[in-house]
Structure 1
């Protein structure tokens, strides 16, 4: 990982004084430096950036003829009493887009009678229009489809709809086809110049502009103010990968204010009780853009990732029924809990596969697995792309067969890094694909399973040729240098001037040098019902020499042992935790300081023989205690280390990288052993079973407990185990629970063994030094 510090630019004194007018409690120096570095260098720019009332938003009729055509067709539909369908998408931008059109067009068309909506199923359908869905709408008498956040490249489906007598208005922001599609109207900001203030609109903002134009054409009809849609616009804008500049920033600023105003009402009085309940469940209060990017957005996205069908999320965002919205919010929260666990599992499996890749010869990472749930692949691909600095494509090869293809299809997601246009990269391999869509940073695709090797080779070759000598080393960038003494309310309020942050205006990254961490502890998260979620978080206090007072912080997805000992440098974001009512940092990256003096007194006493080829194995010595069994906990390793210190021996860690069986296969093997032993009346030792299954005593205990509920009785005779079977004692409900506990224990052991197979020797030394 390469660390980059933005070249500091000292703004002139007059500019600092301008900024200070907005930060009366502090000098304003940090904010001024950030504004200056980001190209905001004069009074009018600064004023319009900070104060949305000064900004001049663009008219919806900047889309010119396309907007005129769309409004004329909607007026025609209204006058003729035609049925209209909103065709949305299943991500947060698509759901909020659908909700904006449902509420907005709902002022002109009777909901459920003239107006309906359709959200594709993420796990069964692709992004965009599809023929079965169009058939269904035709049977309902639909005469007009209005898409949102999708549709620009669905040429064949648009032609199919026309043959069935259905017109199509596309509102979208994704990549355009080579020629204008044969639609009634297409409202897509990508037709505008790149420097236009509407160019970066997301799907929800384009949908809002359509409704805004209709409000202006037919001002006497709507009963609700147009501004009531802005909270939904803010949620979609901030949750999606768009630059928060121009009208995007303006609409997000207004929307957050609207969201806050609604949340200040009692639940029964709120326009959007579902949003309020969802924020309560994720312990946010809605006054920060991060409440959307880390709270609402991931939860709305999680529904389709886990359940496929996310249609009810439109009800969640638009219904006024408090009880119903509370129920939907709780279903959404549980889907997000499940998403976190699945994401962690897939991340661990992807990490294992990455160890078999030579990244020095890999430009695009393409990995596949038959058991990966397609819904979380985009999230994991994003993590891998960020960590490796390479575009990443993850595919589920479960072998779905669609009507139009005779061969099994792999489906997956792709995520990019800033320097690579992923959409174009994937598009150039279209001859190998079944379907694809997206934008430069993210794409979805499907292709015949048999084409994956060709696709992998072709896309790697193309990126190598197009990049030339560009370095793909992953980078993390810091904006300003601060000390621990600088952290707190004053700095937070300065940085808040830049909100809402997003692409083009990222959250400021703070570089803190020569710091150290104390009171670190980690735990699994809990969901709103108090159940543990397989998603780790480390809490800590950060110190440096600038103050005697420590400052709290968190590190998502990491264990406390991953924090280096001694002096460190770190990159972090400053945040306010509304649940704990405290300011804290969110750690982004950490490394030992160059001048840090790591305690190395035990380095000479620990030998790292892990993963050595057999012909390179050192000759055992009586002075070495060789540990070949991979531990599953630091306490196991510490126990061996204490023994070495007592006997004045070296500790040679010589375990190999594990190649574990899937937990379900281990369970089936255990059941097979039990069936064989009960049938033959033979006996077996505990050690024999442990060696056969490659698990710990604790896991075996849980396995024997699970066997009990499936009719097996395990009895001990001296050192042997005897198994008998009685089908009348089977209890499937309790058995399923017990098996789940057994599988979870094995998964955790395998995760820990993978960690110990790769943990750096320096970390092992540091952890063992904590004995002192």
Structure 2
């Protein structure tokens, strides 16, 4: 609910030509012409005849040989064969995110068929909370002490020249498999396999770390005289997880491996899986997924694998979770990952609130790159929250945690994560300011960095200048929502879903299709707070609804994550949705954006004011020619009412309420409500609901819940001359015999108060840029 308003780029009016529909039909089996699918592909201008067929249907794709990754592949394969023949000890160095963990698991399973696990094969993954990406002397010392003579990295190592030189002094030779930025100089590895060395249009150019590890196994297995017991495709489910969870463009072999990997993944929920992974099956059960959809990875498996290192730091047990055949052990590990993900969600929501509160004090009109640091922020979720802020405010965001003072008095460091906007390469920005940093690495849109604390302000100023020069202007770029198809409610369902499913897996360069439905309305709307596996409420809200239009014979179910029901407009509107399916909720839509329609009024009267003035810190003497907002809005629908009033009056809005919030805790609010009820019962003083609500800062909804909870404690709430339960003036009576309130009723009241206080804090401190359309 915090994102900047979106601009809609509507689909073209012209239909895809029949020749194009026929081309698409030849690639996908079916009896009816795939007109919806063809229209989306026509809109996106994807491919000509030959590449399109292989892009849509993996059965028609010709995979690219591992040897095209260059001479480094042949060197790596030869060195691994030597290690196998001479019974050397080999170590795998992985990374702690989903791509790095699955890369490690792929090599652990793949090399484990040729080298005894534990005895001559081991793996090492850095601790996310205490170490950074890449090799470290501590880890190399550990592996050398174990006896390793050959080290194979995965998803890391391209810029670890210093550490590789140190490894040589320990008698360790290093093979690097990675997909991150290439170094300018030779790093000293015996082989560096990295698809970034290929031309951008090459079918292997966008491989992620796990796909590069898979290609190394492919090259090795092809060079063996005797094939290993299990074929290469037994790790394809792991490859799909790492590919889809990582920030890579799914095209060429990348898309092909994800497609066939998903086919392998869905067998894990079947009783007779050819290569069972009980840990994967348990994870899929916990997140209520079947493994046949890319979203089962991006919203199910990926976040749970990533959460382990974000919360615990050490992700090593995730490799065991993904590769062990011990059902009891993997069930325990899967549950640990589930609990870590629940904890991650709560921390992420809290940190996002803190960051947005800090940004309320920032002049977003002149700040193009957001850099914030704090000593208390948890390192593991900084990247997630930075991504949320970037999406909400349309600006690259860097969040840093300041390390505690060291005992030896060395300079304090800040380490964290950055997220960027389209068209702005973070790696290039950091490279230009490398003199201020002690380390950095990552992708153009997502990166990590470390720097001395005293350099933070200098870095922020330099990045702000560079972003302004590259993107130009002072305002944040308004996010653009590309709409693919215009459909009706009657179109939603299985036929449309099955056609669009040929576009999967979606991701960078191939987003989930966005569907426009015009002149619709919502029915049966309600929101609920989600609960974790232990039935505890978590700070996430989901609104559910039915979508209707004039031709619909039945409403179509939908959901809006992170939003309250009051944020939906009451009348007719235009919406953009994504069509989805899962085994629990069936076919449904996910609401992406909504625009209310006022029937009979010209569009110019419906546009909200383009100007919002921030008078929260200081109210000027001249208050003419503005519409003053004195009360903090409680929800987006309240704010939209103000916007429409401003548009009709053709006046700017001025935020004149205080940004300071001094709410009592929900428990203190309940205690004060009980105390007031006792006083009113003793004195028999009539009081209005609005007076009670104002005194306790409760909405009519939460006040009603509070009064209902009081009723379970022996209080009787009645109107002086009426029995209407919602009469404004009430009197309170109390049973002389003390009664304990119903815990469930009190808990419901406390949860709603907490939600209202969160919304009030958000609107009290929200940056003006997030309110301006």
Shorter-chain TM band:
0.7 to 0.9
The answer as to whether partners of 1:518 and 1:540 remain within 8 angstroms in 2 is yes
Alpha-carbon distance in structure 2 between the residues aligned to 1:145 and 1:432 = 31
Give the 5 Å matches for 1:672-711: none
The corresponding residue for 2:681 is none
Match of residue 108, structure 2, among 102, 111, 119: 102
- Alignment of 1:335 onto 2:340: yes
Give the 5 Å matches for 1:553-592: 553-580=558-585, 582-592=586-596
Match of residue 528, structure 1, among 530, 533, 544: 533
- Secondary structure at the counterpart of residue 360 of structure 1: coil
The corresponding residue for 1:767 is none
Structure 1 residue 511: deviation in Å?
Answer: 1.9
The answer as to whether partners of 1:233 and 1:251 remain within 8 angstroms in 2 is yes
Alpha-carbon distance in structure 2 between the residues aligned to 1:655 and 1:575 = 41
Match of residue 454, structure 1, among 440, 453, 458: 458
The corresponding residue for 1:348 is 353
Matched positions, count: 671
The corresponding residue for 1:213 is 219
The corresponding residue for 1:52 is 58
The answer as to whether partners of 1:134 and 1:161 remain within 8 angstroms in 2 is yes
Alpha-carbon distance in structure 2 between the residues aligned to 1:205 and 1:118 = 19
TM-score w.r.t. structure 1 length? 0.80
Alpha-carbon distance in structure 1 between the residues aligned to 2:375 and 2:574 = 41
The answer as to whether partners of 2:573 and 2:597 remain within 8 angstroms in 1 is yes
Structure 1 residue 163: deviation in Å?
Answer: 1.3
Structure 1 residue 77: deviation in Å?
Answer: 1.4
Q: From the superposition, tell whether residues 127 and 234 of structure 1 become closer, same or farther in structure 2 (CA, over 3 Å).
A: same
The corresponding residue for 1:422 is 426
Give the 5 Å matches for 1:342-741: 342-399=347-404, 401=406, 406-468=410-472, 472-580=477-585, 582-593=586-597, 611=616, 613-614=618-619, 616=621, 655-659=657-661
The answer as to whether partners of 2:135 and 2:163 remain within 8 angstroms in 1 is yes
Alignment gaps of 5+ in structure 1: 620-625, 638-651, 668-693, 703-739, 765-772
More displaced stretch, 742-751 vs 177-186: 742-751
Match of residue 156, structure 2, among 144, 150, 168: 150
Give the 5 Å matches for 1:142-221: 142-221=148-227
Alpha-carbon distance in structure 1 between the residues aligned to 2:260 and 2:231 = 14
- Cα offsets for 1:388-444 (capped at 9, x unmatched): 2211111122436498x8122111111111211111112211111121110111101
The corresponding residue for 1:727 is none
More displaced stretch, 197-206 vs 65-74: 65-74
Match of residue 302, structure 1, among 304, 307, 312: 307
The corresponding residue for 1:251 is 257
Q: From the superposition, tell whether residues 484 and 25 of structure 1 become closer, same or farther in structure 2 (CA, over 3 Å).
A: farther
Alpha-carbon distance in structure 1 between the residues aligned to 2:598 and 2:504 = 33
Alpha-carbon distance in structure 2 between the residues aligned to 1:663 and 1:409 = 35
Structure 1 residue 307: deviation in Å?
Answer: 0.8
Alpha-carbon distance in structure 2 between the residues aligned to 1:68 and 1:635 = 62
The answer as to whether partners of 2:617 and 2:659 remain within 8 angstroms in 1 is no
The answer as to whether partners of 2:149 and 2:172 remain within 8 angstroms in 1 is yes
Give the 5 Å matches for 1:78-117: 78-117=84-123
Structure 1 residue 759: deviation in Å?
Answer: 8.9
Structure 1 residue 371: deviation in Å?
Answer: 1.8
The corresponding residue for 1:680 is none
Structure 1 residue 635: deviation in Å?
Answer: 14
The corresponding residue for 1:754 is 761
Alpha-carbon distance in structure 2 between the residues aligned to 1:252 and 1:423 = 26
RMSD over equivalenced CA pairs, Å? 3.7
Structure 1 residue 318: deviation in Å?
Answer: 0.3
- Alignment of 1:222 onto 2:210: no
Alpha-carbon distance in structure 2 between the residues aligned to 1:234 and 1:116 = 23
The answer as to whether partners of 1:86 and 1:148 remain within 8 angstroms in 2 is yes
The answer as to whether partners of 1:387 and 1:474 remain within 8 angstroms in 2 is no
Alpha-carbon distance in structure 1 between the residues aligned to 2:664 and 2:236 = 48
Structure 1 residue 570: deviation in Å?
Answer: 2.1
Alpha-carbon distance in structure 1 between the residues aligned to 2:111 and 2:126 = 20
- Alignment of 1:239 onto 2:242: no
- Cα offsets for 1:16-54 (capped at 9, x unmatched): 134346474655222101122333354323321222122
Alpha-carbon distance in structure 1 between the residues aligned to 2:236 and 2:332 = 24
- Secondary structure at the counterpart of residue 185 of structure 2: coil
TM-score w.r.t. structure 2 length? 0.80
Alpha-carbon distance in structure 2 between the residues aligned to 1:494 and 1:408 = 55
Q: From the superposition, tell whether residues 39 and 695 of structure 1 become closer, same or farther in structure 2 (CA, over 3 Å).
A: closer
Structure 1 residue 634: deviation in Å?
Answer: 12
Structure 1 residue 528: deviation in Å?
Answer: 2.2
- Cα offsets for 1:703-747 (capped at 9, x unmatched): xxxxxxxxxxxxxxxxxxxxxxxxxxxxxxxxxxxxx99999996
The answer as to whether partners of 1:150 and 1:174 remain within 8 angstroms in 2 is yes
Alpha-carbon distance in structure 2 between the residues aligned to 1:742 and 1:315 = 43
Alpha-carbon distance in structure 2 between the residues aligned to 1:273 and 1:293 = 20
Q: From the superposition, tell whether residues 742 and 495 of structure 1 become closer, same or farther in structure 2 (CA, over 3 Å).
A: closer
The corresponding residue for 1:68 is 74
Structure 1 residue 8: deviation in Å?
Answer: 5.2
Structure 1 residue 758: deviation in Å?
Answer: 6.7
